[in-house]
Amino acid sequence: MTERTLMKKTISPLLFSISTVVLCTSVNADTTLRMAHLWPASSTVNQEIYQAWAQKVEQESDGQLKVEIYPSQTLSKADHAYEAAVNGIADIAITVQGYTSGRFPLSEIVQLPGVSTSASQGACILQTLYDEGDIAKEYEDAHTLFLFTTGPAYLHTQDSEIKTPADLEGLRMRHPSEVAGEMLTSMGAHPVGIPAPDIYTSLQRGVIDGLSFPWEAMTVFRINELVNHHLELPYYTGTFVATMNQASYDRLSPELKAVIDNNSGMAWASKAGQVFDDIDKTGREEAMAQGDTIYTVEDPLNDPAWAPPLEQGTESYLEQLEQRGLDSARSVYEKALTLRDQCEE
């Protein structure tokens, strides 16, 4: 046996072994999806939406798809999560559109006051606008799974009770997006942009005087522990997107793509909306149980004190979009308003 023949016989099995390992690794990488989001692992949002979604996908794919969930910003910071999905750092990301300012301007119209009164209604409106093509172009750099919203966001403060816009004058109030910041500015507050997971420490350190949050987030992020006063002024609604890296989706077989498609769209938007509505009730009950003051403005768009700044904030945002060349801004806003009845609970 020549030295060359001996080398071929020795190397061939080795190459076969290496190629087998590489092939197996590629298969596992293609079928294991890393999901990044900002909610705590113990939260109801994580358990009843994201874990439930992962389990459904795994079951329907007969175990061929696995979902690894990275909660609490452990894979990507909340304000970079969408970009993480686009670039493949995460296969799936769930995040707030407002954290990437200016990237989803038409989607953020759903945040404006008067558009929705509950998470279920807001999710239906937002998902419908996407399904019917009104905002779809904003998501072309990734594969959208579903969109949803919070219930109405209210104002919560540590020491200052707020009943009129004058009470907000000069207060440093956390806001999650450009729209919410516009509204707070119109009401006389000083808006401060902070991702949700950083609010607790910001309140502790006195960086902010209060914040904008739906009741759901007040209990999920334990903010009720730190504040004493709540103004139920439905001036804003938070919006979210669950999105998938396009290449991660494209690599799947037709059968596995069908599993993802079957767990996308309105069905999961509605599921998420209902979960958020249920937690809203829990968050409010928690604040009441600890003896906090809660002041409610029943119909702010017809309230003589609150209507002017809210209308001013809405008009200012729409004008900004038009100045940026988004001529469809008002038509999207009008359509969102017309969808309220269709999407009513």
> Position of tokens 């139920």?
232
Per-residue confidence (pLDDT) for residue 313, from 0 to 100 = 92
pLDDT one-digit tens code per residue, 282-301:
999 999 999 999 999 988 99
Residue 300 is encoded by which pair of tokens?
């702010």
Q: Are 110 and 239 in contact (CB under 8 A)?
A: yes
pLDDT at 25 over 90: no
Give CA–CA dist 283/119, Å, rounded: 14
> Helices 329-342 & 119-131, crossing angle to 10 degrees?
130
Q: At 30, is the pLDDT very low, low, confident or very high (cuts 50, 70, 90)? A: low
pLDDT at 331 over 70: yes
Residue 334 is encoded by which pair of tokens?
């009008």
Q: Which secondary-structure segment (H or E) carries 341?
A: helix 329-342
Q: Are 162 and 231 in contact (CB under 8 A)?
A: yes
* pTM: predicted TM-score of the whole model, two decimal places: 0.86
pLDDT one-digit tens code per residue, 208-254:
999 999 999 999 999 999 999 999 999 899 999 999 999 999 999 99
> Position of tokens 């119109």?
186
Q: Are 84 and 244 in contact (CB under 8 A)?
A: no
> Helices 178-186 & 307-323, crossing angle to 10 degrees?
140
Give CA–CA dist 152/110, Å, rounded: 11
Kindly state the DSSP code that residue 245 receives in the 8-state scheme: -
Per-residue confidence (pLDDT) for residue 180, from 0 to 100 = 87
Q: Are 107 and 237 in contact (CB under 8 A)?
A: no
What is the pLDDT averaged over residues 111-115?
94
pLDDT at 279 over 80: yes
